[in-house]
Chains A and B, each alone.
Chain A
């Protein structure tokens, strides 16, 4: 150690001492937290994967043409157009990546201070608990948003570059031209940041409440999984309306002809409200916490985790009981209206692709849908829907066609008519094969 003499201090005036010195702002606290997050190799690898994995997915998808993950919205087109490649990934990113990223970046940001015993180190500096909280929340959000958008940007650019920039078949059977598709796909990714933010706030709350990295990191993923399971049990509007996972589906309305700004606004409000609830609770917990000991003991961690688990079980039971409450938006009327129009547009698309001429924009169709053998109520999600579609123009002389329809809780469906409309691949006038758009198709009519 050196033995330099410290500079002589002037005696501070008491009142000056209390207010002296520049108060570090939120920018400083955020910069510090960002530096800490981006210094950790596991998180750097996650960020790198968010860029590399979509490129790999685009390459793989291209190699699988003409098939694709048909159980995912836009999946059947993912090997045909890069816009669908990106949207296929968006489905998975919303289900898995957003909660996982929220857990990885937000779930450890407070629990990490407990793990390293560094609470007292930062709380004895010149940043208030509120500043530290906001700095951590912003840093976590910036990292999650950056990682999420990295998946979106990489998948969109790589998708178009590798798979191609053909027009996208929308969720009402309409064709979305390349120029418009760029904007809509980008908007879908950006919109999904809102529900992702609610899960970031959930990660923050779990991190503070549990003081456990495992609970903080895996908690958002488990909660998201639980909400998805809850969706499949029943489809009452009350739970769907308040669920923080529901807004992940709101972007679907960007790709329907009718659109629905109401769905987008409702999803945004739901996300903001949950982010405020989770974030507010996390801030209150941090402000009220005493630091009687520097390190969180396993006993304290277990107690906090058990408390959280008890709350989660109670919330789960309440939600389970409420899952069927309220009317359902998944009615035969809405499905009939949607599937008829979607099939009509897709028939026109097939005609245009096959003949090379535009033809009519929409072939008028009417549909009649029922569940099962028709004796049960014709509403709700399920894979036992059957829709009989009839060409509304008798002059066409077309025969009614029956589609087997799987209706999902989020208001999207898959309709299949087997070989009634030809094979999966058919050729155009020049003999070039293309995917038959009415062989099987997806559509959405939207729910809250």
Chain B
């Protein structure tokens, strides 16, 4: 089969205003096939508005959304046959069972009751299989009104999988999930990418994005402030900060300075150090040689998070300086 000529998902200068508020101020995004791309931003940054425009729920005031190389106006169902996903918390009919919800949604996708698929060659995901994949196989007959937030989240992912999408758009898919559930969703997202699908997901969680994403788009106040691969992001990240407790903080602080470490006292009994990994390792060995016991060494703020914070805080001028 011929390779697609462009990115699976692209937005070109999309603008969305609500009265005087600019929710999206000309955002350009490009996501290639088979990748997992994270959309990061603080609350109110415009993530969900952007996802709504991608899913066709909102028309952009300016700019365009392109899917698989073709312009996809809002409400154009044909352009989104290969797209699935959800924004905010997935919602279902509470008086129906989980399985019945998926069956009806599958019917809206296709006249076929037993499966929803894109075309004759496409993969088939039945409602039962989708429920099984998200760990709800045993709850398929239960009414959705009794589901917890996490179960609804998983059902939302199942509803997306039923469409056997080539582009999966997820809005904070692990929110409300317990750690095991969140890990399973992350694994599933990677599987989608491994099987040739593309995932565009929003998240607040930098660690989660660092774990599963190949690329990152960071937006702030409706504007893109950074995009690139995760490697590029890591390269730009500042040196990691660690909290250090020792048996002799005074000597440790002095020793650190002697070794060229950025070290300061954060609390009366705690030091804060910033250094590259190699320099930090050398410092730890030096401490041992000086008979100073290391009682605690833990990362303070992960570097990516530090970068994210610097990118998404302050005015536009300071953001530019940060990047």
> Does the CB pair A9–B110 fall under 8 Å?
no
Compute how far the CA of A125 lies from the CA of B83 in the bound complex, rounded to whole angstroms: 9
- Given known pairs A9-B196, A32-B108, A36-B104, the reply for A18 and B1 (CB within 8 Å) is no
> Does the CB pair B194–A39 fall under 8 Å?
no
- Given known pairs A6-B123, A11-B4, A117-B91, the reply for A17 and B70 (CB within 8 Å) is yes
> Does the CB pair A1–B59 fall under 8 Å?
no
Q: Mark contacts of B36-58 with chain A using CB atoms, 8 A cut-off: 1 yes-contact digit, 0 otherwise.
A: 00000000000001001001111
B68 sits at the interface (CB 8 A): yes
Q: Mark contacts of A105-133 with chain B using CB atoms, 8 A cut-off: 1 yes-contact digit, 0 otherwise.
A: 00000000000111011111111110010
> Does the CB pair B1–A10 fall under 8 Å?
yes
Query: How many Å from the CB of A21 to the closest CB on chain B?
Result: 4
Compute how far the CA of A2 lies from the CA of B132 in the bound complex, rounded to whole angstroms: 7
A25 sits at the interface (CB 8 A): yes
- Given known pairs A7-B195, A9-B122, A25-B111, the reply for A294 and B91 (CB within 8 Å) is yes
> Does the CB pair A14–B184 fall under 8 Å?
no
> Does the CB pair A14–B69 fall under 8 Å?
yes
> Does the CB pair B6–A14 fall under 8 Å?
yes
**How many interface contacts (CB-CB < 8 Å) are there between A and B?**
188
Which of A11, A15, A20 lies in contact with B1, CB distance below 8 A?
A11
Which of B68, B133, B134 lies in contact with A14, CB distance below 8 A?
B68
Q: Mark contacts of B73-84 with chain A using CB atoms, 8 A cut-off: 1 yes-contact digit, 0 otherwise.
A: 001011111111
Size of interface on A: residues with Cβ below 8 Å to B: 54
Instruction: Give every chain B residue within 8 A of A7 (Cβ-Cβ).
Output: 123, 195
> Does the CB pair B107–A32 fall under 8 Å?
yes
B88 sits at the interface (CB 8 A): yes
Instruction: Give every chain B residue within 8 A of A3 (Cβ-Cβ).
Output: 187, 191
Instruction: Give every chain B residue within 8 A of A302 (Cβ-Cβ).
Output: none
Which of A13, A22, A129, A290 lies in contact with B58, CB distance below 8 A?
A290
A401 sits at the interface (CB 8 A): no
Which of A6, A11, A122 lies in contact with B192, CB distance below 8 A?
A6
Instruction: Give every chain B residue within 8 A of A294 (Cβ-Cβ).
Output: 87-89, 91
Instruction: Give every chain A residue within 8 A of B100 (Cβ-Cβ).
Output: 35, 39
Query: How many Å from the CB of A4 to the closest CB on chain B?
Result: 7
Instruction: Give every chain A residue within 8 A of B197 (Cβ-Cβ).
Output: 6, 9
> Does the CB pair A2–B133 fall under 8 Å?
yes
- Residue of B at shortest CB range from A29? B108
B159 sits at the interface (CB 8 A): yes
Compute how far the CA of A41 lies from the CA of B110 in the bound complex, rounded to whole angstroms: 27
> Does the CB pair A5–B194 fall under 8 Å?
yes
> Does the CB pair A24–B108 fall under 8 Å?
yes
> Does the CB pair A17–B192 fall under 8 Å?
no
Instruction: Give every chain B residue within 8 A of A123 (Cβ-Cβ).
Output: 56-57, 75
Query: How many Å from the CB of B174 to the closest CB on chain A?
Result: 12
A432 sits at the interface (CB 8 A): no
A395 sits at the interface (CB 8 A): no
Instruction: Give every chain A residue within 8 A of B93 (Cβ-Cβ).
Output: 36, 39, 116, 118
B96 sits at the interface (CB 8 A): yes
Instruction: Give every chain A residue within 8 A of B185 (Cβ-Cβ).
Output: 1
A376 sits at the interface (CB 8 A): no
A180 sits at the interface (CB 8 A): no
- Residue of B at shortest CB range from A13? B2
Instruction: Give every chain B residue within 8 A of A398 (Cβ-Cβ).
Output: none
> Does the CB pair A10–B118 fall under 8 Å?
no
Compute how far the CA of A119 lies from the CA of B117 in the bound complex, rounded to whole angstroms: 22
Compute how far the CA of A22 lies from the CA of B112 in the bound complex, rounded to whole angstroms: 9
Which of A17, A22, A129 lies in contact with B68, CB distance below 8 A?
A17
Known pairs A13-B1, A121-B159, A126-B80. 10 more at Cβ < 8 A?
A6-B191, A6-B195, A12-B166, A32-B104, A40-B95, A41-B95, A120-B88, A120-B91, A127-B109, A291-B57
Contact sample, A vs B, 22 pairs, CB 8 Å cutoff: A2-B132, A4-B133, A5-B191, A5-B194, A10-B1, A12-B68, A13-B2, A21-B117, A21-B119, A25-B111, A32-B104, A39-B96, A116-B92, A116-B93, A116-B94, A123-B75, A124-B55, A124-B57, A124-B80, A126-B77, A291-B52, A294-B87
A residues contacting B by CB (< 8 A) are: 1-25, 27-29, 31-32, 35-36, 39-41, 116-118, 120-129, 132, 290-292, 294-295
The list of the 4 closest CB pairs from A to B, nearest first, reads A14-B69, A6-B195, A9-B196, A1-B184
